[in-house]
């Protein structure tokens, strides 16, 4: 779900050009931070040169971000958070994004929580396999609700990609778009 919201935020949602540039800078700064952070965790005898290169890339991305006019117009507390939270690339409530993306807000918390359990293979997820009793209609339906929402997110991504590039549209079954007409 977070991947869908990030895709929506950085690719689907239409914003003013200045904000689009700012979002792109956020995305690149976050990617360079993640690269630098992962390299930093490795054996420095092996990756010292890579770490220097990744650090330089991150420093450049950070400099571009904080010198951007859109960043300069942010309220003080938000600007401080953006400057200091290199591990983050979306600085607004995910519930707001969820609503703007067209998904039902009342399902955001339960769906995030439920899918998180499965992604991280927690004991809760393991017990749900038994408790939901997928061999019974009610259990199977309950297990499919979050999957259905994940499919809906994937569908929105496919719609957007098909609209951006006709060469991609030919790979997407036309039956997915039958209800739009």
Banded model confidence at residue 123, pLDDT cuts 50, 70, 90: low
Distances (CA, A) of 12 to 98, 130, 138, 157: 13, 38, 35, 8
The answer to whether the beta carbons of residues 107 and 150 sit under 8 Å apart is: no
As a whole number, mean pLDDT of residues 62-89 equals 94
- Tens of pLDDT, residues 26-41: 999 999 999 899 888 8
Going from N- to C-terminal start, the domains of the chain cover 8-92, 103-181
- pLDDT surpassing 90 at residue 115: no
Q: Whole-structure pTM over 0.85, yes or no? A: no
């Amino acid at each position: 779900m977070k991947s869908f919201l990030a895709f929506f935020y950085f690719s689907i949602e239409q914003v003013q050009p200045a904000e689009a540039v700012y979002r792109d800078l956020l995305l690149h700064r976050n990617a360079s931070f993640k690269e630098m952070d992962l390299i930093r965790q490795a054996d420095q005898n092996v990756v010292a040169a890579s770490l220097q290169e990744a650090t330089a890339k991150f420093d450049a991305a950070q400099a571009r971000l904080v010198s951007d006019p859109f960043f300069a117009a942010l309220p003080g507390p938000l600007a401080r958070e953006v400057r200091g939270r290199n591990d983050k690339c979306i600085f607004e409530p995910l519930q707001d994004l969820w609503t703007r993306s067209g998904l039902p807000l009342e399902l955001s918390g339960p769906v995030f929580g439920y899918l998180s359990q499965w992604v991280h293979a927690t004991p809760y997820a393991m017990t749900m396999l038994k408790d939901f009793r997928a061999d019974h209609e009610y259990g199977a339906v309950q297990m499919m609700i979050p999957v259905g929402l994940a499919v809906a997110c994937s569908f929105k991504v496919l719609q957007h990609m098909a609209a951006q590039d006709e060469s991609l549209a030919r790979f997407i079954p036309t039956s997915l778009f039958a209800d739009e007409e």
